[in-house]
């Protein structure tokens, strides 16, 4: 069972520098030894992922257009926009990827298609 314990809304431009403050507040209300998964919408950055992982927690984040991915060691970078048409109607495990050319952040990617119509 999952239960949202704490949420906050950030105005545009407020994310930078709020990472540690938010995560410390969240940590203070969670009993030790509990599994935590932080779920974020697009707009969060590598800084957040690193800080969450320092707590030995997991994270899920929607990645939107404007970012680049590297799906395999010997493949070229691909934009999210160009990758999206390859997402089928079923959830797909992509394995470990690199996220953004600037950070080359290693993470696991799972894709899913949601029909918004």
Quick check: 98 pLDDT over 90?
A: yes
Residue 116: what pLDDT? 72
Residue 42: what pLDDT? 83
d(CA 105, CA 80): 15
At which residue do the structure tokens 């410390």 appear?
Answer: 24
Phi, psi angles (nearest 5°) of residue 81: -55, -45
The DSSP H or E segment spanning 108 is strand 105-111
Reported as a single tens digit per residue, the pLDDT across 36-87 is 999 988 878 888 999 999 999 999 999 888 899 999 888 899 999 999 888 8
Tokens of 45: 């950055």
Tokens of 69: 């991915």
Reported as a single tens digit per residue, the pLDDT across 14-24 is 777 788 888 99
> Shortest CA distance to 109 belongs to which of 52, 76, 64, 71?
71
Between 46-54 and 19-29, two packed helices, what is the crossing angle to 10 degrees? 30
**What mean pLDDT is predicted for residues 86-111?**
93
Adjacency order of strands within the sheet including 68-70:
78-79, 68-70, 92-99, 105-111
Of 4-13, 53-62, 101-110, least confident by mean pLDDT is 4-13
Residue 5's pLDDT band, with cuts at 50, 70 and 90, is confident
> Shortest CA distance to 4 belongs to which of 55, 46, 50, 39?
39
């Amino acid at each position: 069972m999952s239960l949202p314990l704490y949420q906050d809304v950030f105005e545009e431009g407020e994310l930078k520098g709020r990472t540690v403050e938010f995560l410390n507040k969240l940590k203070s209300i969670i009993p030790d030894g509990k599994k935590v998964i932080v779920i974020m919408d697009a707009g969060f950055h590598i800084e957040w992922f690193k800080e969450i992982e320092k707590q030995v927690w997991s994270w899920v984040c929607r990645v939107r257009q404007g970012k680049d991915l590297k799906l395999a060691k010997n493949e070229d970078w691909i934009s999210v926009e160009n990758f999206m048409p390859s997402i089928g109607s079923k959830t797909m495990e992509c394995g470990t990827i690199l996220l953004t050319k600037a950070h080359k952040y290693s993470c696991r990617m799972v894709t899913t298609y949601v029909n918004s119509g």
